[in-house]
Structure 1
Amino acid sequence: MKEAKQQFNVYLTPETVKKMKHRSIDEQLSLSDLVEKIFNAYLVNTSEERLPQSAPPIEQSEETLRLQPMLHVEDMGRALDFYSKLGATIVHGSRDGDWALLRIGQTELGLLAHPANPDQNEGRVELNFEYGASLEELEKKLRAAGITIARPTGDEGFGYQLQLEDPDDMLVKINQLDPELYN
């Protein structure tokens, strides 16, 4: 039996309403379902913040690399359904629905609805990092340190990307995301 719903009126700026409508379309949810999902995630996150933590939060600056593994999936809808049942919420997603960045607790996971490219040493799971500062400057530092650059910093549909090879020839991607390009 479906849970009863109740109307809840709020007043938002026109820009926020427009963004919420776009987001609901992108996530293929009704506006009511999206708002409920966001409210529930907020309530869970704020209650978690009140719990004592065993370790202090890690200080992050723009120059901090943040791990964002990327999982290649065959069916984005099924994958989103699966991970949402594990408690994931969508942080970002592309308008065409082929990419989504999820948050599960303090962890982020990218889903990509494209097969891995073995010619670029991609596996089903990619090792990706997000970087907030200049990738060109980071690339210079890494070159000087003797790191193998698989592909120099390049303009991508989501921002910029630098590709490295680890000592075992695994591809490591460092992304500088620009939400204006994919939201």
Structure 2
Amino acid sequence: MKEAKQQFNVYLTPETVKKMKHRSIDEQLSLSDLVEKVFSAYLADTGENHRAQQASEVEQSEETLRLQPMLHVEEMGRALDFYSKLGATIVHGSRDGDWALLRIGKTELGLLAHPANPEQNEGRVELNFEYGASLEELEKRLRADGVTIARPTGDEGFGYQLQLEDPDGMLVKINQLDPALYN
């Protein structure tokens, strides 16, 4: 038997409402189910998780690279279902359902719902890093250090990206994410 539900009115800024609606679409949940999920997680949090996350954010400077492997998947819904069963939660996602960033514990995993591009030496798994500081400055430093630049820093639909080639020819992407472009 389904648990009875009741209406709960809250007042939020229009921007928060917009983001919650987009997030519910990205997670393929009704808005009510998403709000219930968020409230339940908040109420279950003893406060230790929040304090630990804040401490972790303070420890990481903007110039720290964070590993974000990217996995090309055939069907986003099946992949999200599989990884959610492993404990993954969606951090961000595109409204078109082509991309999702998941968190599993302290690890992040990106999913792309399109095939890898062999012309760019992409495999089924990509090595991606997120970078909080200026990619242009990082690119200058890497060029000076003799790193092979596969594609200079360029504007993408999610922010900026710099593509490098490792010594074995594997494509390495460094992203500077701009949440305003995908939230």
- Is the 1:63–1:132 contact (alpha carbons within 8 Å) kept by the matching residues of 2? yes
Alignment CA distance shift 1:165-1:26 (3 Å) = same
The alpha carbon displacement at 1:8 in A equals 3.9
Q: Aligned-pair distance for 1:11?
A: 3.2
Shift of 1:50: 8.2
CA-to-partner distance for each residue in 1:133-155, whole Å, 9 max, x for gaps? 11010000001111111111111
Aligned to 2:72: 72
RMSD over aligned Cα, in angstroms? 2.2
When normalised by structure 2's length, the TM-score is 0.88
Taking a change above 3 Å as real, the CA distance of residues 136 and 129 of structure 1, as seen in their structure-2 partners, is same
Distance 1:12 1:69, change over 3 A: same
Change beyond 3 A, Cα 1:96–1:57: closer
Q: Which sections of structure 1, spanning at least 5 residues, go unmatched?
A: none
Kindly provide the CA deviation profile for residues 15-46 of structure 1, in whole angstroms up to 9, marking residues without a partner as x.
32232122212322101111122234445555
Shifted more, 62-71 versus 16-25: the winner is 16-25
Tell me the residue number matched to 2:115: 115
Percent of matched pairs sharing the same residue:
89
Kindly provide the CA deviation profile for residues 77-96 of structure 1, in whole angstroms up to 9, marking residues without a partner as x: 11111111222111111111
Q: 1:95 to 1:61 in 2, by over 3 A?
A: same
SS at match of 2:115: coil
What is the CA–CA distance in structure 1 between the aligned matches of 2:138 and 2:160, rounded to whole Å? 12
CA distance change for structure 1 residues 44 and 142 in 2, over 3 Å: closer, same or farther? farther
Q: In the alignment, is the contact (CA less than 8 A) between 1:89 and 1:103 conserved in 2?
A: yes
Q: Write the distance in 2 (CA, Å) between the matches of 1:94 and 1:149.
A: 27
Structure 1 segment 94-113 matched on structure 2, within 5 A: 94-113=94-113
1:111 Cα deviation from its structure 2 partner: 0.4
Give the aligned residue type for 1:124. R
Hey, what's the Cα distance between the residues in 2 that align with 1:51 and 1:23? 24
Asked if structure 2 preserves the Cα contact closer than 8 Å seen for 1:41 and 1:89, the reply is no
Q: Distance in 2 between matches of 1:32 and 1:162?
A: 39
Rate the CA distance shift 1:87–1:44 in 2: closer, same or farther, 3 A. Answer: farther
**Which range moved further: 14-23 or 37-46?**
37-46
Residue number in structure 2 paired with 1:39: 39
Are positions 1:81 and 2:81 aligned together?
A: yes
1:160 equivalent in structure 2: 160
Separation (CA, whole Å) in 1 of partners of 2:87 and 2:45: 11
Count of aligned residue pairs for this structure pair: 180
Residue aligning to 1:175: 175
Matched, 1:148 2:148: yes
Q: What CA deviation, in whole Å up to 9, does each residue of 1:69-109 have, x standing for no partner? A: 00100000111111112221111111111001111111111
